[in-house]
Structure 1
C-alpha cells in the first residue's frame, strides 16, 4: 500500500519484532503492493528483513472475523515454510516467512492485524500488470510444475472455487437505487458504473455458477497451488525466479495457477503454455476450469474494489487505484459477457 496504516504505529510493529529477536537499526516504510503494509529493516547484525502487516479484515477468503482470518493466514504461512523445506530438496523458489523463536510464522498485532517477517531477498521485482517474456513464462511454468507435483503439507487447506467476497458484490448490485453518498469521492461514480453494467455482471455471476458446477462434477484431483503467480509476485535474481506472496496458497485444481501464466506471456501463445504443462505433468488443462478461475479473479476484484469504495475514503492514491481498477475490470467483464 502507498499509504501508511492509520491505525498501526511504527513503534507497535517494531515492538512485535522482539518475538523474532530482531532489534531494528534502520527502519523504513515500503509503499509497495495493494492490501498489506510493509516495512524494511536492518538489525544489529546487519541482517535485512521485509516485515508485513496484514489487515485481517481484508483476508475474507479464510472465513468471517479476525480470528478465522488469523488462523487461515497462519495455515498459509505454515504451508509456505513446509514447501520451502519439502523433501527431498525443498522448493528453493518459495520465499517463506521466518518463524519466531517459538516457531510461529504469524503473530497477532492488536485485534485486527497480524505480522510476519521475511528475509529481504535481493533481486528485481515485477509489477502487477506486467507482461511475462517468453523466457520468464517458461521459468514460471517450470516452478508451477514443481509445485503442483509436491506432496501437500498437512497445513494446506482445500480452497473451494467460490469467492468469499460475493456477498459484497451482490449487496452492491441490490443497492444501486439510491446515491452512495457519505463514503468518499469515488463511491457515487462506482455506483453509476455498476448501474450501467449491472445486467452484464449478473450474467457473469450466472456463468460463474455454471462453471463451478462443471468443475465439481469433474472430480478433478487437487494439487498445491500458489493462487497468484502473476508478475507482481515474481522476483528475478539472475537466472533464478522466486515466487512471493503465498497468502492464498492452498489445494485446488492446477488451472487456478495456470490461467494467469497462459494469459500473461509475450511472444508465446497460451495454447503453447498449456501444451508444455501437459507434456511436463501428463495432465491436460481443462478449458472450462481455466475460464472459471479467470472469471473468479475478475469478480472477486470487483467485489473488493466496491467494498473499498463503499467505505469512508478520500482522494488518496490507493483509493484512485481502486477506482481505476474497478472501472477497467467491470468494463472488461461486460465486454466479454
Structure 2
C-alpha cells in the first residue's frame, strides 16, 4: 500500500517482530509497495533482515487459514520460493502479522515466460501439502444483485464514491452476465484435476535476485485447476483460462465497490482502486 497503516505505528510493529520472531533487529522502515497489505523492512545496523507484512482478515482469510497456507508454502520447500518464518502468522491489532527473510532483488521488467513456466511445472507436479485450501468461487453468485441495490443509493463517504457508483451502474447487465458465466464454468472446474497453485505468479510477485528468479507472496496458495496459474504464461485449457480471467475481473469489481462505498480520502491507493475498477468494467483508465 502507498499509505501507511492507520492502526499501528512503526515502533509497535518493530516491538512485535522482536517479541514473536526473537530476531535481532534494531530498526524498521515502511515500504510503500504492493496492494492490499502493509509492508516494512526490519534491519540490523543498516542491513535488511526481514520483510514484514500486515494483512487484514475476513475478506480472504481468517488467522487459522492464513497460517495454514503459509505453513503449506513452507512445506513445499521450493528453492524459488521465500517461505514465511514460524510462527507463520500472529494476531496483531485485529490484523495478521507475518515475516519472511529479506530478499535483495528487483521486479522483472517483463515476464520471463520460460522461467515462470518452469516454476509452475514444479509447483503443479508437487504433492500438495496436507490441509491445503481448496479453491471456491471468490465472489458470491449474488454480486450483481448486491451491486444493483448498492448503486441505488449515493456513495458519499469519500471523494471517489460517486465516480465508482456511476461506472458500476452503467455495466450492471454485463456484470450479471459475467457472474452467470463464471458460475457455469465453476461447475466445469470441479470435474477437472486440481493441483497446488500460487494464484498470482506474474511479475508483481516475482523478484530477480543474484540467485535467480524467486516467486513471493504465497498467501493465495490453494488447490485448483492449473489454469489458475497457467493463464499468466498463456497456457492451459481455454475454458478454464477464461474462467479465471472472469474471476479476476469480478473480484476486482467487488473489491472496488466495497472499498469506494466505504469512507476514504482520495489517496493514491483510493485512486488506484478506482482505476482498477474502471479497467475491469471495460472503461478507460484515467490516472
Q: Is the structural similarity TM-score above 0.5?
A: yes
Segments ≥4 residues shifted beyond 6 Å: none
The answer to whether the aligner puts 1:311 opposite 2:262 as a matched pair is yes
Partners of 1:95 and 1:304 in 2: CA distance: 27
CA change 1:164–1:78 in 2 (3 A) is farther
Partners of 2:70 and 2:142 in 1: CA distance: 27
Unaligned ranges ≥5, structure 2: none
- Could you say which residue in structure 2 is the equivalent of 1:143? 119
**Contact 2:158-2:263 within 8 A present in 1 as well:** yes
The answer to whether the aligner puts 1:253 opposite 2:225 as a matched pair is yes
User: TM-score, length-normalised on structure 2?
Assistant: 0.92
The CA deviation string for residues 68-122 of structure 1, in whole angstroms up to 9 with x for no partner, is x1111111110111112xxxxxx100111111xxxx2111113x21111111111
The answer to whether the aligner puts 1:74 opposite 2:57 as a matched pair is no
CA change 1:82–1:170 in 2 (3 A) is farther
- Could you say which residue in structure 2 is the equivalent of 1:107? 90
Partners of 1:45 and 1:313 in 2: CA distance: 35
What's the CA shift for 1:313? 0.1
Unaligned ranges ≥5, structure 1: 63-68, 85-90, 263-273, 275-284
SS in 1 for 2:26: strand
CA change 1:288–1:61 in 2 (3 A) is same
CA root-mean-square deviation: 2.0
- Could you say which residue in structure 2 is the equivalent of 1:173? 148
- 1:1-337 to 2 correspondence within 5 Å? 1-17=1-17, 18-43=19-44, 46=47, 48-57=49-58, 60-62=59-61, 69-84=62-77, 91-99=78-86, 104-110=87-93, 112-126=94-108, 131-132=110-111, 136-160=112-136, 162-164=137-139, 170-181=145-156, 183-216=157-190, 219-238=191-210, 240-262=212-234, 274=235, 285-331=236-282
User: TM-score, length-normalised on structure 1?
Assistant: 0.79
Partners of 1:25 and 1:168 in 2: CA distance: 46
